[in-house]
Amino acid sequence: MTQPSITESDQIRQRRANLDELARLGVSLYPHAFARTHTIDGLVREHGEKSAEALASDRTDVRIAGRILGIRGFGKASFLVLSDGRACVQAYIRQDSLSEVDFRVYELLDFGDFVGVHGHLFRTRTNEFTIWVSRVEFLAKCLVPLPEKWHGLQDVEIRYRQRYLDLIVSPESRHVFEVRSRALAALREFLEGRGYLEVETPMMQPIAGGALARPFVTHHNALDIDLYLRIAPELYLKRLTVGGLERVFEINRNFRNEGTSTQHNPEFTMLEFYQAYSDYRELMVMTEDMLRLVAERAVGSDQVTFKGNSISLRPPFRRLSLREAVCRKAGERLGRDVTDAELRRPDSAAALAAELGVPVDPGSGPGTITVGIFESLWEASLIEPTFVYDFPTEVSPLSKQRADDPDTVERFELYVGGLEIANAFSELNDPGEQRRRFDDQLQQRRRGDEEAHRMDEDYIRALEYGLPPTAGEGVGIDRLVMLLTDSHSIRDVILFPLMKPQR
RNA sequence: GUCCCCGUAGCUCAGUGGCAGAGCAUCUGACUUUUAAUCAGAGGGCCGUUGGUUCGAUCCCAACCGGGGACACCA
C-alpha cells in the first residue's frame, strides 16, 4: 500500500513543485467555483454527433470542467482528455490560442488534475469531437499519481479501500453503482405505486430481533444501557402494521456479527415490506412483478447474465415445495423412496442426513436438518428464479403455520443465480403462539444456539392489540445488485465494504 | 473460525541463493490535429514486517500483518 502522506515519491514532489509554480504565477490553487455551460456528458449528448461543417458554420462557445485523464503533448500543442465521470471529451490546447499565463498553467498540469476550459467546438482531422481551448482555469491539484490507464486498477484491496480511485479509472465499477441506484429507485417506485409508505425504524435496539443472527453490541453512556445494532427491522415494521400502517416498507442497513464472504458483508442493505390482509402466495406474484420492473429499470432488460448463465426474470417463476424437493432429490440420490414423514421425525431425519453425507449439528431438530439437506442438495442448482416454499415451523419462529399442517409455515425463499435473494412469509399474528415460539427459541439458546431468537415481551404486547392477517418479505439488496451487474462478490456492489484497518 | 493462494518502482507485472528488471507513468530534449501519440536520453526500490538457516536471503523456513478464494453460518 502506498502512503503518500508519509513517504513522498519523486512524482509527488514533482506535482507539489508544479502546484508551487502555479502559486508563483498568481493562480488561485483551490478556487471556489467554475461556471460551466455544460457537463461533459451533456455536451457530448447535445453536440457530439454534429459534423465538422455544422460545428464550423455554427460556432458554439462552451465552458466545461473535469478531471484530466489523458495528456498527449506536442510541445506547443496538446490534447487533454477531460472526464466528468460519466463521459470524456478531448480539449485541444495550442500556444497561439492562449495567453502566456494560460499556456504556462497548461504546462504545469498533471494527469488527474481538475481543470476548466473555455473554447469552441470543432472536429479534428481524425474527426474527433474536440474543444478548441481559448482559456484554461486551474481548479484542483491531484498530488498523487493515479493508477495506470491501460491496465487500470487490478489490486482489489485498493479498489475497496480507496474506492474513489476505482471510480476514477474503472467505468464498469461506476456502472455497478449506477445500476444499484436505479434499482433502489425502481423498488421505491414500485412500492409507492402500490400505496406503500416508506418508514425508518430503530437501528439501535434493546433486543435484536426479527432474524436468527448474532448482533453487534454497543453502549449508550447517558442511559447506561447496552444496545444492539439491528439484525432486522421486522418486529418494528409489524408494530407499525398493528398501528394501522397497512403497507409499509423500509430500505436500510442490517448488521450481523458474522464472518465475511463473497456473499456476506457485516452490514448489508435490506428491503423489508409488509402488507396487511395478504398472505405469502400474494407476495410471490408481487415479487415476480417487482423483480421484473427493477431489472427493466436498472439494466433495461428482464434478462440478465450471471456467472455465465442467462437468466430470465419474466414471470412466472418456478415454485418448489421444500419438503417435496428434498424427498425428490434425496430419493434420486439414494435410489429409494424418501417420504415426507421421514423428514418430520428427529431420528429418521438425522439418519437421512447421515445417509446423504450432510453434516448435522448435534441437537438439531428435524426441521433444521431438512433445511440443511435442502441447501446441500439444491441451493447451487437454483439458477433460474425459484420460489422454495413451505418451511418447517421449527426454523421459522415468526411465520404463520399452514391451517392444515402446524408443522409447516407459510414461508418462501426466492433463489436466483444460486443466490438467496428474498425471504417472505405470512406473519404469525397469534400472540399466544408467538410466545410459545419464542419459548422454543429460548430453549435452543440454552442448548448453545447463539443465533436463536430472544424473547420480546414488547412485541408480544403489540400482537395482543391485534395484527391483521399480514404478509411480509425481505429482499437482500446487495445480492440483487450482484445479480443485476454480474458481480461475483458482494464487495463489488458495496462502495466501502468492511476491511480490517491497516497496520 | 479452518484450509489454499498472493504481497517486487506511482500503476501493471517479470525474475534470481551472489550489484534489482520490463512496459506505462515521472524528469530532460525534439515535436502546433493526436487517439495507449512518437523519437532520444535520465532518475526512481525497507523486494509486506520480524526472526531463523546460510559466507551471503527479495528468493529457503517460521511467525506476524494485509488481501483474495474455498469451506462453515447467514440474507
Give the closest residue to B71 (Cα–C1′): A261
What is the distance in angstroms measured between the alpha-carbon CA of A169 and the sugar C1' of B21? 27
pLDDT band at A2 (very low <50, low <70, confident <90, very high): very low
Average pLDDT score over residue span A111-138: 96
Cα A289 off chain centre by: 20
What is the distance in angstroms measured between the alpha-carbon CA of A1 and the sugar C1' of B49? 13
Residue type, A61: D
- pLDDT, residue A503, reads 60
pLDDT band at A150 (very low <50, low <70, confident <90, very high): confident
Chain B, protein-covered positions (CB within 7 A):
1, 9-13, 23-27, 30-38, 43-44, 46, 65-75
Give the closest residue to B65 (Cα–C1′): A503
DSSP A71: E
pLDDT band at A357 (very low <50, low <70, confident <90, very high): confident
Give the closest residue to B70 (Cα–C1′): A261
- pLDDT, residue A9, reads 75
Average pLDDT score over residue span A425-446: 94
Average pLDDT score over residue span A88-116: 96
Crossing angle, helix A280-299 and helix A171-193, to 10 degrees? Answer: 140
Residue A358 pLDDT greater than 90, yes or no: no
What is the distance in angstroms measured between the alpha-carbon CA of A216 and the sugar C1' of B11? 38
What is the distance in angstroms measured between the alpha-carbon CA of A502 and the sugar C1' of B9? 22
ipTM score of the complex? 0.89
Could you give the percent of chain A with pLDDT greater than 70?
98
Residue A98 pLDDT greater than 70, yes or no: yes
The string of pLDDT tens digits covering residues A481-495 is 999 999 999 999 999
- pLDDT, residue A8, reads 58
What is the distance in angstroms measured between the alpha-carbon CA of A149 and the sugar C1' of B13? 15
| pTM for this prediction | 0.93
The pairs formed by A13-16 with CB atoms below 8 angstroms and a separation of 24 or more are A14/A110, A15/A110, A15/A141, A15/A142, A15/A143, A15/A144, A15/A145, A16/A143
Average pLDDT score over residue span A189-203: 97
Nearest nucleotide to A420, CA against C1' atoms:
B75
Q: How far apart are CA A238 and CA A271, in angstroms?
A: 14
The more confident residue out of A351 and A361 is A351
Residue A321 pLDDT greater than 70, yes or no: yes
What is the distance in angstroms measured between the alpha-carbon CA of A503 and the sugar C1' of B35? 42
Least confident of A150-164, A419-433, A460-474: A150-164
CA atoms within 13 A on the CB side of A168: 23
Question: Would you state the cell numbers that stand for residue A321, as one nine-digit string?
Answer: 415445495
Average pLDDT score over residue span A432-436: 96
Residue A327 pLDDT greater than 70, yes or no: yes
The string of pLDDT tens digits covering residues A260-282 is 889 999 999 999 999 999 999 99
- pLDDT, residue A501, reads 81
Crossing angle, helix A366-378 and helix A346-356, to 10 degrees? Answer: 20
- pLDDT, residue A129, reads 97
